[in-house]
Amino acid sequence: MNGINKPSNEDHFSVNGNDLQIFQGTLIHATNDHPLLILEDHVIGVGQGKIAFVAPSSELSNLIDRHGFQQNEVRQLQKGNFLMPGFVDTHIHAPQYVYAGTGTDLPLLSWLTRYTIPVESKFKDLKFASLAYNDVVETTLKVGTTTACYYATIHKHASLRLAEIAANLGQRAFVGKVNMDTFSPDYYLETTQESIRDTEWFIEQVRELNCPRVNPIITPRFALSCTSPLMTQLGVLADKYDVHIQTHINESLDEIASVKEKFPGYGNYARVYDAHGLMNNKTVLAHCIHMEDDEVSLIKERGAGVAHCPCSNFTIMSGVMNLRERLQQGLKVGLATDVSGGYSSSMLVAMRQAVIASRVHSISLTDGKEHIPVEYHEAFRLATLGGSEVLGLSDKIGNFEVGKEFDALIIDPHAANSPFHVYDTLYTDTIEDIVQKFLYLGDDRNIAEVYVGGERVKPRT
């Protein structure tokens, strides 16, 4: 439900005035009815990390009476600034941040062998892992990613270190110790028993951090790097601990052919995961580019979500996912950077490339069928609310509904060294223009403040 334009009793929950942070200005967010709703001159109250009320400024005196705060406690956003929900990156490889922006010259399977495996194997060194993981969490927070769904590596201690760093720096995260007991050189491989034992240890250790915002996620790298016994036991673990699952599927044609060869008799790639207990409503499936009808039906039936990674798909030339078709098929879709198949850790880049990828279908790939390209409004929805749905967090984050946690960004279009300009004399940008300029041209210089669960994580106090 929206519940924002028409304040009612449901739009408030009671929080003592002393515990409230109140912002006044323009809010933008996605709802079920609007991919990008702009609410000018509104107030939003945050108490105990959650959104306590959202209402037009005309309601301010009623809100003061109801919640017992003072007018001077209301923080006015600077003219032109606006609040938006934080970005949800549904698929990112934290160790690959080290070589992001390089190694962009090979397709998937050669890229894995040439670049990925050698770099990921270095994360056995906890000192190196700590350095790199600190960089990736700091960088993604800086560019507004308040929730990230991370792949780590096969190393359990380094993977736990990533979870600790996310918890310490205040990012909401799923963290996965990668599982691979085949299809990798000996120096970066585990036995089936080690993989299961270390994954169980990892799940328990992450839970012992007692940080509700950081959770373990079962992470079979993809079907080619896992034996059937490993996948079966991972399915059992997912069930036992009631944890999320993430993996890759239908990314490149070579990969799909190899999966069919390795797992004959299952029919298709999605059914391989399903037969091993890895396909349910807590499963996040990266890519889903080349899909058979049966796979779409199965994924929809199981309630799994799709992490669309357009930057990666272009960069390592895996294909161009038909985003409009996935949405029309009724699949849950979020956006992802897929660092470092995707060269950028910014969800702004993922949004822009999602729009371009959809236009590519309109221009050349539809075989004469009508195709309505996805526009920036919808990309915004997918990068925020859509991602929260894919990760099963839409009751907690994704937009500014009352009761959700306050994961938010303050955007400053007039920031020093802003990569774009706003005009308010002679030529006047509307608020829609300014929002669009930020989404197309903005970067971390425009992301003045970042909040996760009501706590400011950029700049840190």
12 vs 221, which CB is nearer to Zn ion?
221
Of 44-52, 317-325, 330-338, 355-363, which part binds Zn ion (CB under 5 A)?
330-338
Kindly determine how many residues on this chain lie close enough to bind Zn ion according to the rule CB under 5 A. 2
What burial letters (b/e) apply to 44-79, b meaning 16+ CB within 10 Å?
bbbbebbbbbbbeeebbeebbeebebeeeebeebee
Least separation in angstroms between CB 105 and Zn ion: 18
Provide, for the chain, the percentages of residues in helix, strand and coil under a 3-state DSSP scheme, each rounded to the nearest 5. Answer: 45, 25, 35
CA distance linking residue 89 with residue 93, whole number of Å: 11
Nearer to Zn ion, 112 or 402 (CB): 112
CB of 286 to Zn ion, least distance (A): 5
Cα Rg of the chain, angstroms: 22
Residue nearest to Zn ion (CB): 338
**Which residue, chain included where needed, has tokens 């310490």?**
168
Region label for 392, one of left (φ > 0), alpha (ψ between -120 and 50) or beta (otherwise): left
Smallest gap from residue 249 Cβ to Zn ion (A): 10
Which listed range, 177-185, 281-289, 377-385, 418-426, lies at the site for Zn ion (CB under 5 A)?
Answer: 281-289
Nearer to Zn ion, 90 or 446 (CB): 90
Task: Pick between residue 28 and residue 152 the one whose CB is nearest to Zn ion.
Answer: 152
Place of tokens 């560019």: 143
Read off the amino acid at residue 353: Q
Stretch that binds Zn ion, among 70-78, 223-231, 255-263, 337-345 (CB under 5 A): 337-345
Token pair in block for residue 36 = 């990008």
**Token representation of residue 419:** 């990569």
Q: Which of 120, 190, 255, 338 binds Zn ion (CB under 5 A)?
A: 338
Contact region for Zn ion (CB under 5 A) — 128-136, 172-180, 285-293, 422-430?
285-293
Extract the tokens encoding 186: 């000996």
Which of 338/443 has CB closer to Zn ion? 338
Measured from the CB atom, is 44 or 148 closer to Zn ion?
A: 148
Structure token pair of residue 136: 């990736």
Which amino acid, residue 158? A
Query: Is-contact 373 358, C-beta < 8 A?
Result: yes
| 120 binds Zn ion per the rule CB under 5 A | no
* Residue 255 lies near Zn ion (rule: CB under 5 A): no
Between 338 and 412, whose beta carbon lies closer to Zn ion? 338
Segment interacting with Zn ion, rule: CB under 5 A, options 188-196, 335-343, 434-442, 449-457: 335-343
Q: How far is the CB of 296 from Zn ion (least distance, A)?
A: 20
Task: Please calculate the CA angle 242-293-354 and round it to the nearest 5 degrees.
Answer: 75
Under the rule (CB under 5 A), what is the footprint of Zn ion? 286, 338
